[in-house]
Amino acid sequence: MTSSTSEMKQWMKTLNLTEAAHILEESLLDAQAKDWSCGRFLQHLLRYELQKRDEKQRAKRMKWAAFPFIKSLDDFRLEEQQSLSKRQMEQLRGLLWLEHTYNIILLGPPGTGKTHLSIGL
């Protein structure tokens, strides 16, 4: 690592671009090998920083929510649940009900996927 690279890493950390600072050297090598423009290089670093921040925020929110387990709507086995149609599932997934401020009530006996759906939503 050259002194200019270490100096740039320090500046990035000062600006709270810590995730991008971690991949600076690797990104510089990629940029040289692939002949990236300055704009393309900067875009790569900033996209990486934003992606990592988003991942951290999502993980923090999931921790705050204290769900009993982590599930997504993609994990839900629609074929095992007879009372929920594919159309209804797509309506839930589309979140239009949220924009219209409708309430959703999930009712059913144990093991039908109410908690899974609520966590996924």
Q: What is the pLDDT along the chain (121 residues), one digit of tens a residue?
A: 677 889 999 999 999 999 999 999 999 999 999 999 999 999 999 999 999 999 999 999 989 999 888 888 888 888 888 788 889 889 888 988 888 998 989 888 888 888 888 888 8
**Cα distance between residue 67 and residue 52, in whole Å:** 22
**Cα distance between residue 81 and residue 33, in whole Å:** 52
Phi, psi of 68 (to 5 degrees): -65, -25
Report pTM. Answer: 0.68
In this structure, are residues 53 and 19 in contact, taking their beta carbons and an 8 Å threshold? Answer: yes
Both tokens of 1, joined, read: 């690592």
With the C-alpha atoms ordered 69, 70, 73, 75, is the resulting torsion angle positive or negative? negative
Domain positions in the chain are 3-65, 73-120
**Cα distance between residue 33 and residue 49, in whole Å:** 21
